[in-house]
Amino acid sequence: RAKETGKARCLIYSPRLNGPSEHDISLEAAMFQAVREGEFLLYYQPIVDARTRQIQGFETLMRWKHPALGLVPPVRFIPIAESNGLINLLGAWALKAACVQLKQFQEVAQRPLYMSVNISPRQFRNDKFLDILDDAITFSGVSGDNLVLEITEGTLMIDPVHAESILVRMTERQARIAIDDFGTGYSSLAYLKRFPISVLKIDRTFIKDLPASSKDAAICNAILDLAKHLNLSVVAEGVETEEQMHFIESRGCQYVQGYLTGKPMPAHAALAALSDKTYAALVPTPPAHEPRG
């Protein structure tokens, strides 16, 4: 694994000294070491059909297994990698490794699963990004239409003209674009009209207080309505309970990703989940007292 990352192209290092804590600085130093040691790994979280609960794909989620600190969560290290440029190296590795992993998942499951990969603002702006994408597709042999690239509203808003041209080229590779954490960023709805977007991922903050919160219910309903009329798919993120699942499914949300239907897991566990015919059946069926639709 260390070899793979080591092979990746040059490292762009531009330290930002606008006030990281001492802790961040030592974490940052440890990250460069971690790349050389191959301490970064990928977990995969199932994205399931809300109605059948069959696995449709996975989101690739990066993990850092530090020998002393244990698993460092991405909220700790992704912002550092984003500010010092290491994200370009880590992100290119993750995209390629995720495609290779997807190929194996597809071979085992014998069906066209997809892989969703997070692309940070800095990766998206990197002028090598399309080459990196092409390389990942060619090297792994997956088809572009089995790839979903997740970007945030913020990524689109930094430079909409540039964003549009990159997005168009991404879709020329048949890759689909998802808006991650939809509704939490600074953006305008106009971008849904302007850019070639296929998927909205409803942020967990709108899901977690369902079905009790009438405001969150209204927001989810509005997003699902909007998506339906714009012909976009929707993934509800962070579904943890049957009640949330039932709410979202009954409102016509097609896809769900959350602890209820599978936590992020290493590839071998994801493979087991794919092979396990009873995986979907293990999850209880939605309550029967309310009609669907």
Token look-up 């936590």 returns 263
Q: Considering the complex, state which of residue 30 and residue 197 has its C-beta at the smaller distance from Mg ion.
A: 197
Query: Distance between terminal CA atoms of the chain?
Result: 47
Rg (Cα) of the chain, in Å, rounded? 19
- Using the rule CB under 6 A, which residue among 31, 34, 48, 78 binds ligand C2E? 78
- Judged by beta carbon, residue 120 or residue 126, the one nearer ligand C2E is 120
CA atoms of 215 and 210, how far apart (whole Å): 9
Specify whether the CB–CB gap between 136 and 96 falls below 8 A: yes
Q: Of the listed pieces 75-83, 233-241, 242-250, 274-282, which binds Mg ion according to CB under 5 A? A: 233-241
Which partner, ligand C2E, Mg ion, none, binds residue 240 by CB below 5 to 8 Å per kind? Answer: ligand C2E
Closer by beta carbon to ligand C2E, 127 or else 193: 127
By CB under 6 A, is residue 61 in contact with ligand C2E?
Answer: yes
What is the footprint of Mg ion within residues 103-162 (CB under 5 A)? 118, 150
Q: Site map for ligand C2E, 157-196, x if CB under 6 A? A: -----------------------xx---------------
Residue closer to Mg ion, measured from CB, 45 or 286: 45
* Token reading at 67: 């020998």
Give the pair of three-digit tokens for residue 3. Answer: 């070899």
Whole-number Å distance between alpha carbons of 49 and 283: 12
Burial per residue of 16-40, b for 16 or more beta-carbon CB atoms within 10 angstroms, e otherwise: eeeebeeeeeebbebbeebbeeebb
CB of 251 to ligand C2E, least distance (A): 18
113 lies in the binding site for ligand C2E (CB under 6 A): no
- Residue 28's binding partner, choosing from Mg ion, ligand C2E, none, with beta-carbon cut-off 5 to 8 A by kind? none
Cβ distance 271 to 253 under 8 Å? no
Applying CB under 5 A, which of residues 28, 181, 216, 249 lies at the interface with Mg ion?
Answer: 181
**Contact call for residue 254 and Mg ion (CB under 5 A):** no
Query: Among 241, 225, 117, 127, which Cα is nearest to 180's?
Result: 117
Give the β-pairing of 55-66 and 70-72.
Answer: antiparallel
| Residue corresponding to tokens 């997003």 | 223
Is residue 73 part of the contact set for ligand C2E (CB under 6 A)?
A: yes
Rule CB under 6 A: say whether 140 interacts with ligand C2E: no
Element (H, E) at 89: helix 86-109
Q: Does 120 bind ligand C2E (CB under 6 A)?
A: yes
Residues of this chain that interact with Mg ion (CB under 5 A) are 118, 150, 180-181, 237
Residues of this chain that interact with ligand C2E (CB under 6 A) are 45, 60-62, 73-75, 78, 91, 94, 118, 120, 150, 180-181, 204, 237-240, 257-259, 264
